[in-house]
Amino acid sequence: MRCLLVSDIHQQTHNLAGLIDRAGKPIDLVICAGDLTNWGNRADATAIVNLLRPSPCLTIPGNLDTPEVEAYLVDTGSSIHAQCRIFQGWTFVGFGGGSAGFVGESAAK
């Protein structure tokens, strides 16, 4: 299985597109370990996730992802925050967010 692990994208879609191109195909699974956005909204998160697909995605929210972004990740079925998911025989467990007062308030409560 070929996985691409990314984190701290912070809405830098031009950097992400280049990374995906360099990773080559096929990518069986994309794991995004938080901070898709910089205090972004659903549309911002959608732009990031659309770049990561058509590969299946597993995500956790980061400390700069708002509750709206977290809700979007749950709605798309990609969030593994506080849960476990089995993909092609591999078990993935996620816990996202940040410490309140650290950099940003935890989106993952």
Q: Answer whether 48's CB lies under 8 Å from 7's CB.
A: no
What residues does 30 pair with on adjacent strands?
A: 4, 57
pLDDT at 23: 87
Task: Fold for 3-94, please state it.
Answer: Purple Acid Phosphatase; chain A, domain 2 (3.60.21)
Summarised one tens digit per residue, pLDDT across range 20-57 is 888 888 899 999 999 999 999 999 999 999 988 888 99
Residue showing tokens 């979007």:
72
Q: Where are the domains of the chain?
A: 3-94
pTM of the complete model: 0.83
CA dihedral 108, 69, 27, 50 (to 10 degrees): 180
Token duo for residue 39: 């205090």
